[in-house]
């Protein structure tokens, strides 16, 4: 089977092809004059450590049933989203256009700037801190980062951070299982 075509950003719409677009209500406008200066990598599994199914999408759509799992009760009323969700099989789902502000970073700081949601793109990888990510996730993530840099020239090559980097002490994802060197090698090989 041939490899899928590399992702491409439709800058006018702020959408990534070939991601499946599922609009989240958890978004708003970026502040006037905001530029895209950062990509934040997250890790998520719902319930934690479990993968597949509809739960992450339902969290980002505010339709997660609190009675479906005891952990879901801790998330009741939470309003979060990400620009992209990268499943373990490589599927890409987009919830927020890149020109809009997704609610993914929370209280955060990067290079002495607070409120990272204002100037960042949030990418959630289906995974957990201590569970290795899948090879296809690194491949697709490298493809996505190259596409984003082509579309948004304000994204510098070193403008990628983990959620744990922008919210230390509060967040741990994507965790020690995430191989930053593998990602960097994949991006270098593509661009």
Looking at 54, 91, 124, 126, which residue is catalytic?
124
Segment 70-74 long-range contacts (CB within 8 Å, at least 24 positions apart): 71/46, 71/47, 72/46, 72/47
Nearest 5°: phi and psi at 92? -110, 130
- The answer to whether residues 130 and 59 touch, using CB atoms and an 8 Å cutoff, is no
Check whether the bond before 146 is cis (ω within 30° of 0): no
In the annotation, is 8 catalytic?
no
Residues recognised as catalytic: 124
């Amino acid at each position: 089977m041939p490899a899928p075509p590399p992702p491409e950003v439709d800058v006018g719409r702020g959408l990534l092809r070939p991601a499946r677009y599922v609009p989240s209500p958890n978004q708003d406008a970026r502040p006037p004059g905001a530029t895209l200066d950062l990509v934040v990598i997250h890790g998520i599994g719902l319930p934690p450590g479990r993968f597949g199914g509809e739960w992450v999408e339902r969290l980002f759509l505010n339709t997660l049933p609190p009675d479906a799992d005891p952990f879901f009760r801790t998330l009741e009323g939470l309003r979060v989203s990400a620009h992209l969700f990268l499943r373990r099989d490589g599927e890409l789902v987009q919830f927020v256009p890149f020109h809009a502000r997704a609610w993914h970073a929370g209280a955060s700081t990067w290079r002495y700037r607070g409120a990272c949601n204002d100037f960042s793109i949030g990418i959630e990888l289906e995974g957990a801190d201590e569970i290795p990510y899948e090879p296809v996730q690194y491949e697709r993530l490298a493809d996505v980062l190259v596409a984003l840099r082509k579309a948004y020239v304000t994204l510098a090559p070193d403008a990628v951070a983990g959620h744990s980097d922008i919210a230390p002490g509060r967040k741990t994802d994507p965790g020690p299982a995430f191989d930053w060197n593998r990602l960097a090698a994949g991006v270098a090989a593509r661009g």
